Every structure is written in C-alpha cells, then in structure tokens.
Amino acid sequence: MEFCLDTGDLEEIKKVVDLYPIHHFSMNPSIAVRCLKGTGRSFLQNAVMIRDVIGDDAAFYLEVMGDTAEEMMEDARAICKIVKGNTSVKIPACPEGYKAIRLLTKEGIRCSCTAIYDFNQAMLAAEAGAKYAAVYVSRLDNAGGNGLEVVKNIKEAFLKEGITDCKVSAASLKSAIYLEKAALVGADNVTVTLDLLEKMAIHPMTPKTLETFKSDWEGLFGKGVRVANMEM
C-alpha cells in the first residue's frame, strides 16, 4: 500500500523525506492556503520547491481550480509545465471534472479524481481515465456515511470488472486506526498528515523494549560501546 503525505509545508516534507519511506506527496487548495499564508510564496513556487526536495521520481499530486473543464485543463497544463517530474493533477469528481480527466488523459497528463464520496463517482472517474479514485473517508463518516465501506465496494468492483489502471485511495484519514482498516478493505493508497505518520511510526512499547536492549548491552560491554567501535 502506498502512503501519500498530504501537506504543502516545506519543512514537514524535508523531515519526512529524511526519515520515512514516503514516495507520494499531495496538496489540496485548503492545505496550500494554510501552508502558504505569510510565506510570500505562490502555489507554483512552493510546488517547485517541494519537487526539488522530493526529487523527480516521487509522485506529486496537485489540485486544479476552476468551474469548467476548460479552466481545469488550463490549470493542469500550467502545473505540469512548471512542476516537472512525476507530477499528476487532482481533478474533482463532477461532470466537468470527468470531462477534464478524459481530455487530459488523451493529452498524456496523469489525473487523480478527488472528492469522491460514493461508488458511482469512482466508476465514472475510472472510465474517464483517472489513475486514482480518492475517497474522502473521514469527511464521509462525519456526514453519517461509511467511508471505508465505500472504499471496499469500489475496490471489489474494480477487481471484478478488471479495472487495473485506476487505484483506490483512502483520503482524508484522521486517525491511525483508519490506516489499518483501509488496508484491510483493499485501499491501494492512503493519504496521511505528518502527525498521523508520526503516530503510526512507533508503538508505546517500542521505546521500553529499546531501553531494555540498551541496558543489557551496556551491562556487559559498557556505556558508549557499539558494534562499530568495539574491540575485536
């Protein structure tokens, strides 16, 4: 399963690239506004700086604005022209969005369909040519739905229908327990914040175990002795 860091904060991205095996990055308009406020950087300037940090091979998903397919396509072309490398555009799940996905796919621009809340939207996204169908799990749950059930049904339908070129993403996750459940229902990709990533990276028992290992080791070999500096 792919992990996708959902942020536009350059310092957070630098930290994640340094520590974690994350190769997918995304940023929606709301996240961009929060991260860019007060920086003086534009959306595209920030995106280029992020690309420099994550490298050309990392997947980077950037969302378009616009109400019509034509406006979305203009944004998509502008993004891909400026932000080089493995860049995809995020297109909303709506009639104009499906049109934009279909036409952009013909141009060779990779699209992820975002803000999906039900099965039908995902099927239309896949048919239009989207490479990802991103279900907003927590938002759907908060509205009284069952986001993970939607992810499960979409994935099962994709497998049954032989849809292999559109992955199912569980997005808008708010707690670590969602990650395990998303994997179990078949999500190909999950989006995470830095806070969520750090919570899932370590268990409360891990530090205690490491303390025991260190105490036992130092009891025999002494403090500061490691494999690399111990005598043969």
> How many other β-carbons are positioned within 10 Å of the β-carbon of residue 64?
23
Least Cα distance to 172 among 66, 69, 31, 47 occurs for 31
pLDDT band at 70; cut points 50, 70, 90: very high
Question: What does the pLDDT read at residue 231?
Answer: 87
Reported as a single tens digit per residue, the pLDDT across 91-141 is 999 999 999 999 999 999 999 999 999 999 999 999 999 999 999 999 999
163 with 209, same domain?
Answer: no
229 with 150, same domain?
Answer: no
Tokens 């290992």 belong to: 213
120 with 158, same domain?
Answer: yes
Question: What does the pLDDT read at residue 78?
Answer: 98
90 is catalytic: yes
pLDDT at 232 over 90: no
> How many other β-carbons are positioned within 10 Å of the β-carbon of residue 112?
27
Question: What does the pLDDT read at residue 174?
Answer: 83
User: CB neighbours of 24 closer than 8 A, spacing ≥ 6?
Assistant: 2, 3, 4, 5, 58, 59, 60, 61, 189
231 with 192, same domain?
Answer: no
229 with 123, same domain?
Answer: no
Q: Which residues pair with 168 in a beta bridge?
A: 133
30 with 141, same domain?
Answer: yes
CA-CA-CA-CA dihedral for 186, 189, 195, 198, to nearest 10: 80
Read off the pLDDT of each residue in 138-167 and give the average, rounded to a whole number.
96
Question: What total number of domains does the chain contain?
Answer: 2
33 with 103, same domain?
Answer: yes
The domain that contains 76 carries what CATH number?
3.20.20.70
- Which residue range forms the structural domain that includes residue 81? 2-201
144 with 112, same domain?
Answer: yes
Rounded Cα distance between 180 and 11, Å, is 27
117 with 188, same domain?
Answer: yes
Reported as a single tens digit per residue, the pLDDT across 9-44 is 999 999 999 999 999 999 989 999 999 999 999 999
Reported as a single tens digit per residue, the pLDDT across 172-209 is 888 888 999 999 999 999 999 999 999 999 999 999 99
55 with 114, same domain?
Answer: yes
User: CB neighbours of 125 closer than 8 A, spacing ≥ 6?
Assistant: 93, 98, 101, 113, 116, 133, 166
Read off the pLDDT of each residue in 138-146 and give the average, rounded to a whole number.
94
Q: Which of 14, 15, 84, 90 is catalytic?
A: 90
191 with 211, same domain?
Answer: no
Query: 144: buried, middle or exposed (CB in 10 Å: 19+, 13-18, 0-12)?
Result: exposed
107 with 147, same domain?
Answer: yes
The model's pTM is 0.93
Rounded Cα distance between 55 and 33, Å, is 23
Question: What does the pLDDT read at residue 177?
Answer: 87
